[in-house]
Amino acid sequence: MNWVFIEVVLFTLVIVQCSSQVTATSETVVLSSTTSTNNPVLVYCNGVNEPGSNDNITWEYTNATGTSRMLSETSSSFNLTSTSDVGEYTCNLNGNPVHNITAAYLAKPTLEHTQHSVTFNDGDKKRKLTCTCVGSYPAVTFEWSRRSEDKGALPVTLSSGGNITIETSSERSVLTFNKLKYNMQAYYECQVMNSAGNQTVEVHVRVKDRLAALWPFLGIVSEVVILIIIIFTYEKRSKKAAAKASRGAATDDAETPLKANDETGTELRNRSSANNKDNC
Ligand SMILES: *[C@@H]1O[C@H](CO)[C@@H](O)[C@H](O)[C@H]1NC(C)=O
Ligand SMILES: *[C@@H]1O[C@H](CO)[C@@H](O)[C@H](O)[C@H]1NC(C)=O
Ligand SMILES: *[C@@H]1O[C@H](CO)[C@@H](O)[C@H](O)[C@H]1NC(C)=O
Ligand SMILES: *[C@@H]1O[C@H](CO)[C@@H](O)[C@H](O)[C@H]1NC(C)=O
Ligand SMILES: *[C@@H]1O[C@H](CO)[C@@H](O)[C@H](O)[C@H]1NC(C)=O
Ligand SMILES: *[C@@H]1O[C@H](CO)[C@@H](O)[C@H](O)[C@H]1NC(C)=O
């Protein structure tokens, strides 16, 4: 009985030791947009001390969509020359995984259909900003933030709820303004991040008056109206002047002012009689 127990303990110890020996080390190498045959990134099997020994080295590669295959590579190191080389590399020494390498890449994010700024109307519904980041590995996480137009303002992280909705899939994130208000005018940032780092793309969202397009039109209309009034009064005056000129030539000049005096006199008399009535 005792011997069996000791054997079991020893066997367990051997297994624990073996499995601790084959535990792979891991690291991340970062590919960049400049990665090419002229500017490669070296992948090196960290568990191999003597390249050129009789050790049997094999490499397993798992691409970004999870398909695994054995590489024909048998040396302890090789070069990655393209951002499409992203994925997981496992170096096996005599059949045991000894080193794992994640080849990471972070692509530049872009905002679809927008330049440096975009203009929406006050009250607009369901306006969207779409941030895409294609070709990155591992999958990126997206983060939206709003930075006020005030100088030195810090970005504030946004989340779904109330006036905005954020929907994110693996390669894109859509920020929807449920209903735009003036106070939503600001800089909006889309940040993407993974183990290769982080990058930000920004857009200035302007919110303008819904009637803004109407103002120039109203301006033209009022200009026309003013012009008509000016022409009308000018015409009236010149007609009056012409009439006066023709009358002045025909009759006595003093007649017109005298008539005017008479009128004001009557008016005054009427008013004073009205006042007297009030006093009674
Ligand atoms: C290394 O990669 C292998 C195969 O992909 C995996 O089974 C193992 O868990 C990884 N080890 C570490 C330490 O990441
Ligand atoms: C991964 O490999 C499979 C099989 O070769 C291929 O169909 C798939 O497109 C690859 N994925 C990427 C992201 O390259
Ligand atoms: C990787 O590329 C570098 C620079 O081009 C080169 O010096 C090196 O020999 C290459 N290594 C392998 C294993 O191909
Ligand atoms: C290395 O090992 C793999 C299996 O782990 C085997 O298929 C292959 O033939 C071996 N290569 C050499 C050169 O021994
Ligand atoms: C959006 O809604 C949140 C809460 O729902 C509120 O705190 C915030 O002030 C609103 N922002 C704007 C610009 O109206
Ligand atoms: C983004 O990357 C920069 C370096 O490029 C780093 O200083 C900063 O802390 C990172 N930000 C986050 C949120 O990880």
List the residue whose alpha carbon is closest to atom 3 of ligand 5: 162
Q: What is the CATH number of domain 25-105?
A: 2.60.40.10
Amino acid 144: pLDDT? 98
Amino acid 238: pLDDT? 85
**Residues 279, 277: Cα–Cα separation, whole Å:** 5
Amino acid, single-letter form, for residue 100: N
Q: Are 146 and 155 in contact (CB under 8 A)?
A: yes
List the residue whose alpha carbon is closest to atom 12 of ligand 4: 56
- As a whole number of Å, the end-to-end CA separation of the chain is 137
CB-ligand 2 contact for 63 (6 Å cutoff)? yes
Q: Is 53 exposed, middle or buried (0-12, 13-18, 19+ CB in 10 A)?
A: exposed
Summarised one tens digit per residue, pLDDT across range 139-149 is 999 999 999 99
Average pLDDT, the chain: 83
CB-ligand 1 contact for 88 (6 Å cutoff)? yes
Q: Which residue has the higher pLDDT, 51 or 151?
A: 151
Grouping H, G, I as helix, E, B as strand and the rest as coil, residue 57 is strand
Amino acid 274: pLDDT? 45
Q: What is the average pLDDT across 65-83?
A: 95
pTM above 0.85, yes or no: no
Q: Is the four-CA dihedral 85, 88, 91, 92 of positive or negative sign? A: negative
CB-ligand 2 contact for 66 (6 Å cutoff)? no
Domain 110-208 has CATH 2.60.40.10: yes
Cα of 100 from ligand 3 centre, angstroms:
20
Q: Is the pLDDT of residue 19 over 60?
A: no
Grouping H, G, I as helix, E, B as strand and the rest as coil, residue 62 is strand
Band of residue 51 on the pLDDT scale cut at 50, 70, 90? low
Amino acid 181: pLDDT? 93
Summarised one tens digit per residue, pLDDT across range 176-192 is 999 999 999 999 999 99
Amino acid 277: pLDDT? 46
Domain borders along the chain are 25-105, 110-208
Domains 25-105 and 110-208 share a fold: yes
Q: Are 203 and 111 in contact (CB under 8 A)?
A: yes
